[in-house]
Amino acid sequence: MNFIRSAALGIIAALSLATASAGILTEATRTYTVNLNIPDYQDPPQTFLATINDSLIYSLTQVQVSLSLVGTASGSGFASEMTVLLNKDLGSSAMLLNRVGFSGSDLIGQSYDGWNVSFSDLAGSDIHLASLGSGVLTGTYQPDGRVLPTDVLRPEMLAVFNGGSGNGDWRLAIADLELGGTMRLQSWSLTLTGEAVPEPGTWGAIAALVGVTGMTWWRRTRRAA
């Protein structure tokens, strides 16, 4: 009986080792170069697919996105015409941009030329409220997160992906909702952070420990018989 208890404790210890070895991993940034003009008044959105099948993350804790979306020529963009959404596996979506500057009292928004920005839920500023007279906005911002551009609540933040795997089909959808300004998607990127699958060497050590424990138990039961 004492041996069975010891064997059980050994297996529990092995599983605990697997959990401890998983840890939190931030994977290398995956960048997707596009260099494609978004047609003026492009609705429904134009979609750009990135399929990830080599991520070690089984439970996301943070997703960061970078975006380079600027006027096709200097001064040709119009920021508040654009919406940009990130979707995972045709399920959860985060609204990165939603007609920035729009509010109940401002139905024109911002006319600057686009973005070379990063999005993180942990950033200090909401991109919807960032203003710029002209040129291209830079820096790190919270995503817009609004279902409608005049909303106050922001349910569609990047946290909607937390708990899911890093692997899957990630889609960036871009819509130009007004005639006039024209934009070019130069590139976008994903940086994934989350709980990672243990390295193969760790699983090998766990399998060996469980195997030795099982073999010892089998031998002891054979002798007892």
Q: Which amino acid is at 162?
A: N
Q: Is residue 9 domain-resident? A: no
Residue 28 lies in a domain: yes
Q: Give the range of the structural domain holding residue 181, as residue numbers without chain letter.
A: 21-198
Please write the tens of the pLDDT for every residue from 69-116: 999 999 999 999 999 999 999 999 999 999 999 998 888 999 999 999
Q: State whether residue 71 is helix, strand or coil.
A: strand
Query: What span, in angstroms and rounded, lies between the C-alpha atoms of 216 and 129?
Result: 66
Three-state DSSP class for 25?
Answer: strand
Question: 132 in a domain, yes or no?
Answer: yes
Residue percentage of the chain with pLDDT more than 70: 78
Predicted model pTM = 0.80
Residue 8 lies in a domain: no
Task: Compare 130 and 219 and report the one with higher pLDDT.
Answer: 130
Distance separating alpha carbons of residues 22 and 97, to the nearest angstrom: 34
Does residue 212 form part of some domain? Answer: no
* Residue 213 falls inside a structural domain: no
35: left (phi over 0), alpha (psi -120 to 50) or beta: left
Q: What is the mean pLDDT of residues 205-225?
A: 48
Q: For the purposes of burial, counting CB atoms within 10 Å of the CB of 40, is it exposed (0-12), middle (13-18) or buried (19 or more)?
A: middle
The CATH number given to whatever domain includes residue 114 is 2.60.120.260
Domain assignment present for residue 139? The answer is yes
Considering the domain boundaries, does residue 43 fall inside one?
yes
Domain count, the chain: 1
